[in-house]
Structure 1
């Protein structure tokens, strides 16, 4: 029997991944500000997360690195926090005591869990992650653009059981609509290359408020565009659109 694998979206890119009882929290975001709105209910409070084996953080943007919320919620600061150097500096300043720095293709282990940073590209320095344990492999795409190196993940790591990808194609209006996140079509193309058993989109409900949506950001909030693109490019791959708080079991 294969190792159990499930994922529960807390909200946005904050996911709770469980591999055979090893629990990993990704890109924590539990609060909001005047220009950062979740756009959907946040499933859990920090206080209700329970024991975690690790936290992985792709980059330092507030909606992916809400470490203040973890500290305020009484989070165990001995929990290993894994991310690039830019994140590590912030985490140490917040009081995290077991901070692991990984850059692209570097790995660290927490017990039976292996976390490997993979390339990413965004408005700031970002990595993505391959998370493995018990013969299971998860790709977590943060809010990266699609970069060619990600297509090599199956060659490097073997079969991908679960791919979690951003899909909103976020563009920054003051920067002449510079795109900083892969869009639905690009995410579908990466999905076709990764060939996961199951694909789950995220990072689409976020918005910048009524004023911010007109002046700061532009993005696609409909994950069905991704599902439709995967159905066209790789119809053999199952896509699951998931509300916050609904556990998804991966075959």
Structure 2
């Protein structure tokens, strides 16, 4: 019997991944600042999250590593936390007591759950993840650029059931339009290489506020650009665009 696999986007890159009875939270972000806006409603607040078996964080940027919000909201700081050293050092300083440092191609196993850090590239040190349990395999792309080494994932891990990828092509205006996140076309090309059963875009509603969008960041907020590109490059892959709070079951 196939282990149930469901994903529910909370907002941005914060996802609730459920594999059987296991609950995994990715890249938490629950608050906003003058230049960091989710651009979509939060599906749930920290106090209503419930218990998790694991917390997986790709890098230390505030919109992916909102640890202060977790602490303030009463999140269980004994929850196993997986991430690169930049994240686990920060988490330990915030009171998290069960941290597991993994860098690219390193794995940590907790019960039936295995989390493997895979390569990533961003404005700061970042990893992406392959999350496995119950015979299911999930790729979580954080907000990385397109990294060619990720094409190795099917060969290393077998069939990918679910791929979750950023798609907004975020560029930093003051840094001569430096691109720091894969865009829709690049994400579709990576999806074609991964060949998952289901692919979900995320990290597209984000904005920097009216002024910030003009002087700090430039990005694509239309997820249809990704699904259109995917239909060309990998028509066999099912893709879904959903509102926060809408569960997607992977058969």
Normalised by the size of structure 2, how large is the TM-score?
1.00
Residue matched to 1:146: 146
Runs of 4 or more, structure 1, over 2 Å off, are none
Q: Distance in 1 between matches of 2:21 and 2:197?
A: 20
1:187 matches 2:195: no
Once the two structures are TM-superposed, the CA of residue 242 in structure 1 deviates from its matched residue by 1.2
Q: Distance in 1 between matches of 2:137 and 2:4?
A: 11
CA RMSD for the aligned pairs? 0.4
Residue matched to 1:39: 39
Once the two structures are TM-superposed, the CA of residue 75 in structure 1 deviates from its matched residue by 0.6
Once the two structures are TM-superposed, the CA of residue 79 in structure 1 deviates from its matched residue by 0.3
Give the number of aligned pairs: 251
Q: Distance in 1 between matches of 2:109 and 2:16?
A: 18
Map of 1:1-251 to 2, 5 A cutoff?
1-251=1-251
Normalised by the size of structure 1, how large is the TM-score?
1.00
SS of the aligned residue for 1:130 comes to strand
Unaligned 5+ segments in structure 2 are none
Q: Distance in 2 between matches of 1:92 and 1:160?
A: 32
SS of the aligned residue for 1:75 comes to coil
Q: Distance in 1 between matches of 2:211 and 2:189?
A: 32
Once the two structures are TM-superposed, the CA of residue 179 in structure 1 deviates from its matched residue by 0.2
Q: Distance in 2 between matches of 1:113 and 1:51?
A: 16
Per-residue deviation, residues 184-212 of structure 1 (Å, max 9, x unmatched): 00000000000000000000000000000
